[in-house]
Every structure is written in C-alpha cells, then in structure tokens.
Amino acid sequence: MNNSKFQAYQNDLNVPETTLAWNLYGAGTQNIGKDGKPERFPVPQPGGDQLLVRVDAVGLCYSDVKLIRLGGDHPKLYGRDLAKEPTRVGHEVALTVIKVGKDLAGKYRPGQRLAVQPDIYHNQRSTAYGYTISGGLIQFHLIGPEVLDADDGAYVIPLDEHVGYAEAALTEPWACVDAAYTQRRRLEPKEGGVMWIVGNARDQREYTFEAGLDAPALIYLTEVSAGLEKIVRANAAQGARIVKTDTMTTADFADFSTKETDGKGFDDIILLAPQSGELVGEIAKLIAFRGMLNIVSDRPLEGDAQIDAGRIHYHYTAYVGNKTTDISASYGEARNRCELRPGGCALFVGAGGPMGQMHVQRAIEKKDGPAVIIASELKKERADVLLRAMEPLAKAKGKIFKLFNPSETDQSLGEFIKDVTGEDLVDDAVICVPVAQLMAESARLLKPDGMLVCFAGVPNGTYIDVDLSPVYLGNQQITGTSGSSLLDQEVILRKTLEGDLNPNRSVAAIGGMGVAQKGLEALINGTYAGKIIIFPQLNDLPLLGLEELSSYYPRVAEKLGENALWTLAAEQALIEELWPGSAA
C-alpha cells in the first residue's frame, strides 16, 4: 500500500483554527455535545507549562457510561455543576504532541506520541483524566501541570512509533486487566497502623507470632490468652500502645470501631479460632481501607460469612489466613498468589464483554498460564463472537478453550466444568460483570486453594455470602482490583512490542468524531462484543462493526486479519482513505 498520506498524517503539525469536541453538560447521553452534535471551539495556544496535543484515537469504556449516568454526582467529580463547568469523557487515548510550551522544551517535542495514565493524583486527591480533567473526545486540546506535574510526575507515557493508534489507546484498559493479576493487596501488618486481635475463650491452642508485631502503633486485645498477650507485649514496637478490651458481642463491634478508630476501621484484624461465619462477617465490616482480615484456625466455620464485594474491588480489602498456630504464617506474597495458576483451569464469567474478552485472551496468550480456559457468557451474540475469536487462538497456543452459554442448556456450570476437566472445581474464577450473585456462585466452584478475582466492581456495601473456611484451611484467595498505574501501562506496551500481546484483538467497532455519541449509546446497549475505537480526526467515519467494513470501505477491510481482526495495516488504510488532510 502506498501510505504516503498516512505518513503525512503522522507528521502533520499544522493547527486548525477550531476543534470539534463532545463536552458533557449533565447526566445522560442527551447532555453530550449540543443537539446530538459535537461543538466547535477555538484551538488554544499552549502556555509555558502546557502541550497542545492532537487526539488520534479514543477507546470507549464502560467507566465513561458510569460518568454519563451520574453526571456531577460521580464520586470523581466531587459534586461539580456540569452545566456551568462541563467535563469530557474519554480516558483511553492516543495523543500526538503538536506544540510544546517554552517551559517544557527539552522534555517533549512536536510529533512525539503519548499515551495517558488517567488515574492521576494531585496533592493525594484523585483528579482523573476523562473525569475531573476533561478527556479525549476532542480533536485538539491542552494538557498541563494537572497531567504533567502531578504527585507521580508526568502521567503520560512516550510511545514507540511501531505502536498503532488503537493499540496505544487500548494500553489503559489492557493495563487494568493485567493489573488484576499483580499484587494490589497489602499482605503484611501495616506500619504505624491499628491492629485488633480477637481470641476465643474456648480455644485451647497456644499461638506464636513470629513476625509483624513490631509494625502497628496500637494493638487491641480481646479474649486472648495470657501467653499470647505476653508475646504481643514482648514483640510490639517500642512506644506502641497495647489495650485490653472487655469481652464483646457482635452487637458491640460497630460502636467499638467508631469509638476507637473514628469509624475508619482497623488496619489489621486477627481472628483466632472463630466458630461462626456470621461473626466473621460482622467483624469483616470493620476492615479499614486496604485493611486485612487474618483468620487463624484449624476448623471450618459454621455457615457462610457476608463480605463486602465492592470493598474487595475498590478498597483492596484482603482476606488471608492459615491453619497452623503461627499467626504470621498467613502473611507475604509467597503464600498469597494473585496470578492465574500455571497449567490450571481458569473460569471467566461474563467473558463476552470487552473486558471479559481481554481476560480470556490474556489467559490464552500467557505462556505459563492456564491449560484450560472456560468462558461463560449469557448473550448469544457475544458468545458467538468470543468463540470465533478465541477458539483458533487457543488451538494455536496449544490450550483448551470451552464456551458455556447457560441460556442454551439445562446443564449447570458445575456440570459443564466436570465434563471438560473431570473435576468439579476450578483453580481460578474471574468475574467480569458487576453481578454479586455471580461472584458468590463462582466462589463455590473454586478449589480450596483456588482464586476468586472480583474484576468488575459492584458498589461498596454489596454483600455476598462466602464460605471463608478455605481461605485459612486451603489458602484460597479472594482478590479485586480497580484501575491501573503508569508501570502497568508500560508493561502492556512492552508486551505489545515484543509480540506477547495483541491489543488489536479487542477492537470490535470503529467510528469517527461525528458518531462518538452514538458509540457511547452502543456501548450502553451492548451492541458490540469488543471495544469501540473513535478516531477523532476522521469526522465522517460512520460507526461500524469490523465485519461491516467490507460493505463501506473494502480497501480497509482487505487489510483486516482472520475473523475481521483489526490490524496496523487496516488502521493505516483507514487513515489513507478518510483523513481529509491538514485544515491549516
């Protein structure tokens, strides 16, 4: 292909007088833009500490939908009146630097390509790009200290020229997927934190505490033996306060936490030989942000515990334990895995959506990943897309991929697993849809040393019934993550360049600037199984599923891969065909 026009696009540093933008003025898709169309604004000149950037690609994300539905009530907008101070969605972006402010000369250069890490903190406050900071559904805009000089420095990542625009935009959601398998939980007692050790007067075991007692600044002891109290006092940090409490019932717990922690909860709670799952659930409500509950016992609980699934995802609350008498044996990354089990069986629930497909693809492409991948998807259209995309990939990687659609069979998921593996339980279960019932049901399909990943977030305060006995008896893991970091995105870029990951497999539909609102509505309606990519510089491109391209742009469609897979060649052909050239 003669891609001289594509090269001209890459190298174009001209600045038009105006830019199209889809601002958000309130809750609901009707409040995006004006009268269903994008607005035109003057293109500003950068100040000394700013960059003028061109937006080359934007991935639409379900997090955008949450913001659109809530408007100014979204937690990251802090009650902002969008009618007076609009924002703009679009946090998965690929950018090109067009102009550099004088104070940034030497750090950035015109023509440089960037990706953005949207989860930005400024003065320890979340000011995320695409939320508090107006995002990428615009053709040209300024970024300054709010992105380039925040708590961790610049929240942008330079891009290699061999990374495509869609690939670059997809580094952020892919980073979120990859981050789900990196340790986000705190797995040691918190330095300077508040610890609460809760014993059981009927428990005759003698405990040790080999490491970690020197971390907390304040330790509460409830019904612990004289021997353990002696160990605590001998090994606590110098100056740490140790407080014995009266015996409590579950009715006393909330008041105790409010009084002693100002309602923030305990950083570390250690439960010794609990008997009731209900009691464990009540104490679990008192875990602080990024707090840990360590259960040490050799007997199973009576009944399930109610635990907050939302806090596992958003607050990184950790459930650990062991069945010995060494309390500290529960801690550390060596005991608490977060990666899929090599050679195991991994179950993905809600696997047909954009993020679910990414999880499945990662599991298949991971060299030391699971040998058997089972994907559960209720919607037939998504299930069909998933099967077409992943079955050939799994075959090529020498792995087993099986699809379960509960709407098309009377067989239970457990029975299906047994038919596929010969076993009743799986090593790992990853929940890709925000449905608490599916989280609870999936936990019951786990091996005693399995791992439950609550990837999709449900609201804090959403409780699920879980048997926590396998956590300490079998080393079962319950994890959840939200968002990603600069490092996570850099890892994705490296994997992409090294050929270990193909983010373009996630693309299901494309569109130009004029149809961004329609793209968001399609996302809300679940029209496409994979990601929707908006190319802001291609205003006239309609919203099209990749399988529709042959009817509209056959020269682009012929550059697609097998099963209508998006490729770098297709992206170049698209820009060749539809980019109008510089307006300057």
How remote is the C-alpha of 383 from its chain's centroid?
A: 22
Three-state secondary structure call for residue 150: strand
Q: Please report the pLDDT score of residue 552 as a whole number.
A: 97
Instruction: List, for residues 69-90, the tens digit of each pLDDT value.
Output: 999 998 889 899 999 999 999 9
Domain limits of the chain?
4-180+486-578, 194-330, 345-433
Predicted local distance difference test score (pLDDT) of residue 468: 98
pLDDT band at 583 (very low <50, low <70, confident <90, very high): low
Split at pLDDT 50, 70, 90, the class of 483 is: confident
* Measured distance CA(287)–CA(285) in Å, rounded: 6
DSSP, residue by residue, 101-131: -GGGBTTB-TT-EEEE----EETTEE--BTT
Q: What Å distances lie between residue 56 and 167, 200, 423, 505, 535, CA to CA?
A: 11, 61, 48, 19, 6
CA angle (170 as vertex; 167, 174 as ends), nearest 5: 120
pLDDT for the residue 371: 98
| Percentage, residues of the chain above pLDDT 70 | 99
Q: Which of 491, 485, 538, 494 is nearest to 516 (CA)?
A: 538
Grade residue 3 by pLDDT with cuts at 50, 70 and 90. Answer: low
- Following DSSP, what letter does each residue of 294-355 receive, concatenated? EEE-SS--BS-EEEEHHHHHHS--EEEEESSSBGGGG-STTTS--SPPTTSEEEEETTTSHH
4-180+486-578 and 194-330 share one CATH topology?
no
8-state DSSP, 515: G
pLDDT value of position 1: 42
Q: Torsion over CA of 547, 551, 556 and 560, rounded to 10 degrees? A: 30
What is the structure's pLDDT at 124? 79
Which CATH number among 1.10.600.10, 3.30.43.10, 3.60.20.10, 3.40.50.720 corresponds to the domain 194-330? 3.40.50.720
| Residue 584 pLDDT class (50, 70, 90 cuts) | very low
Residue 256, pLDDT above cutoff 70: yes
> Looking at 245-284, which runs of residues are DSSP E strands?
266-272
- Per-residue pLDDT of 106-160, as tens digits, reads 999 999 999 999 999 888 788 899 999 999 999 999 999 999 999 889 999 999 9
Helical residues (DSSP H) of 379-475, grouped into ranges: 380-396, 413-421, 436-443, 469-473
Mean pLDDT, residues 405-430: 96
One of 3.40.50.720, 3.40.50.920, 3.40.50.300, 3.90.180.10 is the CATH number of 4-180+486-578, namely 3.90.180.10
pLDDT tens per residue across span 386-398: 999 999 999 999 9
**Candidates 3.40.720.10, 3.40.50.720, 3.30.420.40, 3.40.190.10; CATH matching 345-433:** 3.40.50.720
Encoded tokens for 319: 């459930």
Residue 572 DSSP class: H
- Asked if pLDDT for residue 305 goes beyond 70, the answer is yes
Q: Which residues, other chains included, contact 121 with Cβ-Cβ below 8 Å and sequence gap of 6+?
A: 127, 150, 151, 152
